[in-house]
Every structure is written in structure tokens, then in C-alpha cells.
């Protein structure tokens, strides 16, 4: 953790709880990929830039989650650089109440903000306005959040944001927050094509063997779908499903965990519904789901 690692001729990774990518141009200007969770992470990034006498050309935010965009405001204010993201993601960074509101389903309670739902609001430009070095590509990675992207640097290094989660994380709990499961399945299939390339997930070690991790992520989605289906032999409310799953995985009984699990369960139910595997009914003011 907290190592600055060279991954290619001009490509580096600052390994943090959220890995940060650096692509350095021949003019010593850096495209910074994500900014870490907060001001502390931003200061670490600045230290590296100062040490090498590099300046920021642009910040590319893969998506709006706080652990990727939390250091953005500090970096922008400290250096005067511009941050870029896709049109959907930039809205969430400019209006940080929206992310917890989407996950919770209403204006978020203060108790739900915490470290990971607290992006300092920051102006972000549309990534379409950013000029990129030759061989530098943006990769669409829909599923995890509104319109997440990854980056391929000219050194053939792939920064994959949160498109794949580490096996350790999935082993402790196979369900993570996913905005759109159908798109996530498609993204995972796509990522398998990068086998043999150097890939950098945001929360796992850089690897040349991304296909097995992508498969493990897919199997985890399948597993959660199977568990949910097994619980829906009779009509069950979302509330009861959340309770079953929190007990099954021995999850901490906190506001944050409850909301994240509840949101995750509803995401899986929508996927199952769109694939005609479950049906629902609203009865006496409760919504029940049942296997078809
Ligand atoms: Zn994320």
C-alpha cells in the first residue's frame, strides 16, 4: 500500500486503498486517473508530482464515487487543473447529495454520509472536451455506476476502475453495490478480452491475468442471484430478503450497511425481473417478490 510503481514507459500507479494512475507526457505533464478518497490522498498525489517536477495536465475521474473523486476538489484548487468525467458522472461530483440519494432512495440522512458518501463538490468538465495523447483511449465500463470509464494508456496499461472487485472483498461478501447488473455482466465479459494485458483494478493488485478475476466477479453475481432465487420460493418482502442476506453474510448492523445491502438486493431483483425470473405484487402496502 502507498507505493509509487512504474507500470510502463510513461505509466505509473500509486497504490492506495483506491489506486491512482499517472500517465506522464514527454513534456512532464501528467494525466492523473482518479484522486483517492479525500484531501489526504490528494496531498500524497501532489507530493509525487512535486518530487518528479511534474505538473497536472488533467484529472480523469473514472466515476463519481467518493473513493475516486474525494481528492478532486483539493487537487483542482491546489493546481488550477481541470477535472474531466463522463456527462453522467460529472453531475454526481458537482452535486454530491445525488449519489447517496440514488443509493438510499430519498434525500440522504446525515448518518448515511460517512467517509464514502461525502465527495467535496467540484466543477468537472465533460470528458469529450479533453484532448488525449496518441494511443490513449477511454474505455466504457457501464454497470458499476452511472457511466463509468476506464483508461488504456499508450503503454498498453488498462486502468479498470471498479469494473472488477478483488476476490478477497467478494469472498467476505459476494454482493457489492452495482448500479445496473445487466451492463455489469456485459462489462465483465468485455474485460476478459484484456487477458495478457497489464490491468489495474482500483481496489486490487495490478495483474496480467484479469480474466480469472472477471470470471470470479461474474460468478459472485450469479451466486447472489441464486441465493435470492432460493429465498423466493414463496413471496418475500425486500425487507425480509435484506434481513436474510445480512444474517447469512454476518454483515455489520449499521445504517450504512443496511442501506447498501437493501440497495444491492433491489438491484438484483430488477435484473431478475428483467430476465423474467421473478415477479412481484403489492399487497396491503407491502411489496412482495416471488420466483416465477
Ligand atoms: Zn465505485
Instruction: State the CATH number of the domain containing residue 261.
Output: 1.10.10
**Residue 210 covered by a domain:** no
**Residue 197 covered by a domain:** no
For residue 281, report the distance from its CA to the centre of ligand 1, in Å.
32
For residue 278, report the distance from its CA to the centre of ligand 1, in Å.
28
For residue 231, report the distance from its CA to the centre of ligand 1, in Å.
28
**Residue 208 covered by a domain:** no
Task: Let me know whether 151 and 263 are in one domain.
Answer: no
Closest CA to 102 of 87, 121, 88: 88
Domain range spanning residue 280?
Answer: 228-291
Give, for all 292 residues of the chain, the pLDDT tens digit: 789 999 999 999 999 999 999 999 999 999 999 999 999 999 999 999 999 999 999 999 999 999 999 999 999 999 999 999 999 999 999 999 999 999 999 998 888 777 778 899 999 999 999 999 999 999 999 999 999 999 999 999 999 999 999 999 998 888 888 999 999 999 999 999 999 999 999 999 999 999 999 999 999 999 999 999 999 999 999 999 999 999 999 999 999 999 999 999 999 999 999 999 999 999 999 999 999 9
**Residue 252 covered by a domain:** yes
Of 162, 187, 202, the residue that ends a domain is 162
Which position has the grid cell 505509466? 11
Of 162, 190, 220, the residue that ends a domain is 162
For residue 160, report the distance from its CA to the centre of ligand 1, in Å.
11
Number of domains in the chain: 2
User: What are the φ/ψ torsions at residue 128 (nearest 5 degrees)?
Assistant: -65, -20
Q: State the DSSP string of 22-53.
A: EEE-TTSEEEEE---SSHHHHHHHHHHHHHHT
C-alpha dist (Å) from residue 152 to 111, 218, 231: 37, 22, 41
**Residue 206 covered by a domain:** no
Report whether 1 contacts 36 (CB < 8 A): no
**Residue 115 covered by a domain:** yes
Torsion of CA 168, 174, 177, 182, to 10 degrees: 120
**Residue 223 covered by a domain:** no
Task: Let me know whether 144 and 265 are in one domain.
Answer: no
Residues with CB under 5 A from ligand 1 (ion): 65, 162
**Residue 67 covered by a domain:** yes
For residue 116, report the distance from its CA to the centre of ligand 1, in Å.
10
> Collapsing DSSP states into helix, strand and coil, what is residue 34?
coil
For residue 223, report the distance from its CA to the centre of ligand 1, in Å.
21
Amino acid at each position: 500500500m502507498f507505493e509509487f510503481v512504474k507500470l510502463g514507459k510513461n505509466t505509473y500507479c500509486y497504490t492506495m486503498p483506491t489506486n491512482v494512475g499517472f500517465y506522464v507526457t514527454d513534456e512532464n505533464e501528467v494525466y492523473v486517473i482518479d484522486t483517492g478518497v479525500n484531501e489526504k490522498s490528494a496531498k500524497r498525489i501532489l507530493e509525487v508530482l512535486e518530487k518528479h517536477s511534474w505538473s497536472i495536465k488533467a484529472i480523469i475521474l473514472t466515476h463519481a464515487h467518493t473513493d475516486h473523486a474525494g481528492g478532486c476538489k483539493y487537487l483542482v484548487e491546489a493546481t488550477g487543473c481541470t477535472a474531466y468525467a463522463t456527462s453522467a458522472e460529472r453531475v454526481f461530483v458537482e452535486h454530491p447529495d445525488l449519489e447517496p440519494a440514488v443509493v438510499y432512495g430519498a434525500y440522504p440522512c446525515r448518518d448515511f454520509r460517512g467517509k464514502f458518501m461525502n465527495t467535496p463538490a467540484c466543477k468537472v468538465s465533460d470528458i469529450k472536451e479533453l484532448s488525449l495523447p496518441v494511443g490513449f483511449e477511454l474505455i466504457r465500463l457501464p454497470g458499476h455506476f452511472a457511466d463509468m470509464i476506464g483508461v488504456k494508456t499508450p503503454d498498453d496499461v488498462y486502468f479498470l476502475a471498479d469494473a472488477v472487485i478483488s476476490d478477497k472483498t467478494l469472498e467476505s461478501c459476494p454482493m457489492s453495490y452495482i448500479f445496473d447488473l445487466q451492463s455489469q455482466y456485459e462489462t465483465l465479459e468485455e474485460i476478459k478480452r484484456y487477458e495478457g494485458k497489464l490491468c489495474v483494478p482500483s481496489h486490487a493488485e495490478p495483474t496480467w491475468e484479469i480474466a480469472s478475476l472477471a470470471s470470479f466477479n461474474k460468478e459472485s453475481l450469479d451466486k447472489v442471484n441464486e441465493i435470492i432465487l432460493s429465498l423466493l420460493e414463496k413471496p418475500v418482502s425486500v425487507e425480509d430478503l435484506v434481513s436474510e442476506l445480512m444474517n447469512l453474510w454476518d454483515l455489520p448492523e449499521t445504517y450504512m450497511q443496511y442501506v447498501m445491502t437493501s440497495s444491492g438486493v433491489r438491484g438484483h431483483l430488477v435484473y431478475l425481473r428483467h430476465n423474467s425470473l421473478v415477479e412481484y405484487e403489492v399487497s396491503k402496502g407491502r411489496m412482495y417478490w416471488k420466483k416465477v
